[in-house]
């Protein structure tokens, strides 16, 4: 095996340098999802699953780092990819993971992505404020999916780390 020098993974410079309002949008979304109606751990599990679904290393590494820092077990973090048959998640977390998966996966022909059944299961576990927060959290990760898959920032475990070359 040969050693190779670190190669830049970013495709584009930090978009925040050109559109400084991005920091305001990011902060507003974080505040909106930080109202404590949905545990931050659940939001990070949802964001990790979203990163896995879109096959994005940046989002997967970042949200894995958040979960580790929050004290989540390696079993729970690893099992997010196969959450449907993993014994590590609460019914509420399962409903949240099903909701993000339904939102991001293509729908079978002639069916809607988020079925009434998926929505009803989420509504069984989350009150109106929490369900709105969870929906915003899914929108939040969708916003950042575009930046992550187009710009391809460096994988980092913390937002304080260098993300863009």
159 part of a folded domain: no
Give the mean pLDDT of 116-128.
Answer: 98
HSE-CB of 38 using CA atoms within 13 angstroms: 32
What domain range includes position 134? 35-151
29 part of a folded domain: no
Q: What is the CATH number of the domain that holds 69?
A: 1.20.1290.10
At residue 128, the pLDDT reads 98
pLDDT score of 6 more than 70 = no
Cα–Cα–Cα angle for 99, 80, 58, rounded to 5 degrees:
95
Domain count, the chain: 1
Q: Give the pTM.
A: 0.91
Give pLDDT tens digits for 59-95: 999 999 999 999 999 999 999 999 999 999 999 999 9
3 part of a folded domain: no
Write the Ramachandran bin of 150: left for phi over 0, alpha for psi from -120 to 50, otherwise beta: alpha
9 part of a folded domain: no
70 part of a folded domain: yes
pLDDT score of 150 more than 50 = yes
Give pLDDT tens digits for 22-42: 999 999 999 999 999 999 999
pLDDT score of 127 more than 60 = yes
Closest C-alpha among 37, 99, 44, 53 to residue 76? 44
14 part of a folded domain: no
At residue 8, the pLDDT reads 59
Q: For 42-70, give the DSSP string.
A: HHHHHHHHHHHHTT-HHHHHHHHHHHHHT
């Amino acid at each position: 095996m040969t050693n190779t020098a670190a190669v830049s993974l970013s495709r584009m410079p930090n978009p925040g340098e050109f559109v400084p309002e991005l920091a305001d949008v990011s902060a507003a979304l974080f505040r909106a999802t930080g109202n404590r109606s949905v545990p931050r751990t659940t939001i990070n599990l949802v964001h990790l699953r979203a990163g896995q679904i879109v096959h994005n290393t940046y989002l997967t590494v970042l949200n894995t780092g958040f979960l580790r820092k929050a004290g989540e077990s390696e079993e729970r973090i690893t099992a997010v990819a196969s959450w449907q048959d993993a014994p590590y998640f609460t019914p509420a977390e399962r409903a949240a993971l099903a909701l993000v998966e339904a939102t991001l996966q293509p729908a079978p022909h002639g069916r809607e992505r988020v079925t009434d059944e998926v929505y009803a299961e989420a509504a069984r576990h989350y009150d109106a404020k929490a369900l709105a927060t969870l929906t915003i959290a899914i929108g939040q990760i969708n916003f950042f999916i575009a930046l992550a898959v187009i710009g391809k920032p460096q994988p980092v475990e913390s937002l304080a780390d260098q993300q863009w070359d």
